[in-house]
Amino acid sequence: MYAATAPKTISSFLVEKGMPGFALGQQWKDKLGMRASFTAELVFDEVLVPLANQIGADGEGTIHMMRNLEIERVTLAAMSLGIAQRSLQVMVDYANERKAFGKAIREFGQIQRYVAESFAEWRSARSFVYDVARRLDLHSVGQRLDADATKLVASQMAKRAADAAIQVLGGYGYMGEYVVERLWRDAKLLEIGGGTLEAHHKNLSRELARNPSVLRD
């Protein structure tokens, strides 16, 4: 957790299970997606945290927070890649198996568009995310531009891929028997969690306005 230890000073602390005053509150179960992920309120009521549980020095909490956000956003971008890859696998397998008018639906231009565009977007996002992950420095901050950009691109790409898979599968894609309806629901959270799309738009625009030289690298 992060807490103020002095005026304009944020520090990091480890709050452990069983500490007096720390408890789990309401558990949220009725979620659109990510239903296997345990989600609950954290309740802090006069929790006494020993100095030994402080992480780093006084005032380093802001740096920790920003660095963790950068790592989280790249991680969520990678999660988006997995959702898109699974969506592609399902739609390609179905397009090969499903027949209409005597031939596999992969032969129809409408289906080919969904498959081809989803694949091209996935591969493009994958290269971007892998490159940013490779260069991410875990001991510093200041990498928000790339971290935000990867999540902005990959999260929307994942939802489009899942949506395309549902469209290729038709009514089957809407049913729980196939995994793509869950992938679509899970993908939506990636456009919100770890920073909304709108937050990424703001961060990227401001950073580029302050530092346009990055466009010349």
Q: Are 2-55 and 61-216 the same fold in CATH? A: no
Position 137 scores a pLDDT of: 85
Query: Which residue type sits at 141?
Result: V
Active site residues: 72
Q: What digits encode the pLDDT tens for the residues 180-206?
A: 999 999 999 999 999 999 999 999 999
Whole-prediction pTM: 0.90
Position 214 scores a pLDDT of: 87
More confident: 78 or 141: 78
**Over 90: is that where the pLDDT of 163 sits?**
yes
Position 195 scores a pLDDT of: 94
Q: How many CA atoms lie within 13 A of 149 on its CB side?
A: 19
The pair of structure tokens assigned to 211 is 């530092």
Q: What is the mean pLDDT of residues 123-142?
A: 90
From residue 168, alpha-carbon distances to 124, 136, 148 in Å are 21, 37, 30
Q: What is the mean pLDDT of residues 51-72?
A: 92
**Over 80: is that where the pLDDT of 141 sits?**
no
List the domain boundaries for the chain: 2-55, 61-216
Give me the CATH code for the 2-55 domain, please.
2.40.110.10
Residue 89: strand pairing partners:
none
In angstroms, the CA 86 to CA 164 distance is: 12
Position 109 scores a pLDDT of: 97
**Over 90: is that where the pLDDT of 209 sits?**
yes
Mean pLDDT of the chain: 94
Give me the CATH code for the 61-216 domain, please.
1.20.140.10
Find the DSSP H helices in the chain. Answer: 61-97, 109-135, 144-169, 171-174, 180-190, 197-210
In angstroms, the CA 18 to CA 132 distance is: 38
